[in-house]
Amino acid sequence: MRFLWLFIILPFITNGQHAMVRGVAPLSMGQEIQLRVYDDPISGKERILAKQIIDVDGSFELKVFPNEVQYAFLQVGQECADFFIERDKDLELTFVPRKKDPNKPEAFYERHFFAPKILGGKSAKMNQQVIAFNDTLDAFLEALYPILVNRKSPALVAKALDGFEKAALKEFKQAEPFVKNYIKYSIATVEQTFVGNRDKLFAKYLNGSKAQFNNPSYVDFLLQFYQGAVHKMAVVNRYEECKKAFDGKEAFAKLDQMLLEQEPMLQDVYVRRLVLIEGIDGLFGQREFEAEKLINALNNFGMFSSNSYHGSAAKNIAAKHEKLAKGTDAPEIEFRDLDGVEKRLSDFEGKYVFLELTDAKNAYCQRETNVIPNLKEEFKNFRFVTVCVGNSDAEMKSLQKQMNINWEFGGVQISSSVMDDYDVKSLPLFFIINPDGKFYSVPAKDPTKGAQDELMSLTEKLKAEGRRGVGK
């Protein structure tokens, strides 16, 4: 009989855990809208919780199942609106991206984020409070800017921040508990950046505080507070011990103990292990740490961790480096040149390839592309390939003419799989790919920052192996 009652009430329990996000996107009719979340607090790995084609009247309705209060964003193409979702609560909003100034150049960003207009729903109050606070903080920082530029006394900055904190706590006295913590750690990050005394910051914001890995302002403050701790331990102070630890199956446990010995403030095991995971991510490419051993340590910990945040972060970071590791297959890129001809990265197998992913309209990217003709002249046995990400034909033609590009050149859409396959967060990016289509250097040196030396080193290495040239 007990089991019968369980089967009767289980559907009601399950149905009560979802969140509904609905609204209108009048400028995006007929396009796909996705509701995305981060899979963990630090790796940047995303999950699509729900998606649909926006109706002809501009409406959409997405049903999802969050674990708790969770940062999320709606995405249509390159435009994103971010907010928080809550279990068993609905949210209504409008998705209308801000207008772009066609005459104003902008740097490459993977996506453009904006705050949606909240219309209603049980989660409306929390999101309206977060948006209101963010506007208040932006206004404060804008007013504080002249003091920072003129290098006024830190005491003046501290006094201004103290006044802002008191005013914010008073204004948002009735805010929901999650919002109060969001405000607390947003202010903490500002204090840490411009004022902070480390001991006082720890006593005020971290000592005895429960970890809040679903709160992005807490995670930002936490990682900034312990920034460089793992690097200092593994690369500077205890390099040989750490390198040896990665040889064994208990690597993570040994590193965890060493980190505690170095950072007595990291008594909270949940916080310490998140800091360690994030720190191991930064060890790839450092000194003589082998990527395979770092990946194994992360995977082993992720597999057996009882904390879902830790487990997901460790496995996602390991997967990121497995995908973009030296010796792994370079993901295929299908691009179109300016004559409309479809080409593939794999077309160039048989020679070493110097691959550039770039933004044709960005000045910094253009500076790097401008050096490639010199590299191409010096290293004639390499194939040079430039792929523009998210640019129009007109923008690419302008770059080609300006740089006199006479090597493989084309473009992909911002929606291309290249964004995920090559973990594109900013541009430009460079890679060296061997004749078998596998990564040789990930990422490679920028043309203005050592690419010539890296290519020369590779050339000399191949000559020493008895080869008469590169890529034959």
pLDDT in tens, 322-356: 888 888 899 999 999 999 999 999 999 999 999 99
**pTM (2 d.p.):** 0.81
Can you name the residues that pair with 292 across neighbouring β-strands? none
pLDDT in tens, 123-182: 999 999 999 999 999 999 999 888 877 766 788 888 999 999 999 999 999 999 999 999
pLDDT in tens, 401-439: 999 999 999 999 887 889 888 988 789 999 999 999 999
Res 7: pLDDT? 41
pLDDT in tens, 286-295: 888 998 999 9
Res 196: pLDDT? 79
Res 17: pLDDT? 76
The pLDDT confidence band at residue 465, using thresholds 50, 70 and 90, is confident
- pLDDT > 50? residue 464: yes
- Residues of the chain with pLDDT > 70: what percent? 92
State in Å, rounded, how far the first CA of the chain is from the last one. 75
Res 8: pLDDT? 43
- pLDDT > 50? residue 2: no
Residue 223 in tokens: 């990682």
- pLDDT > 60? residue 10: no
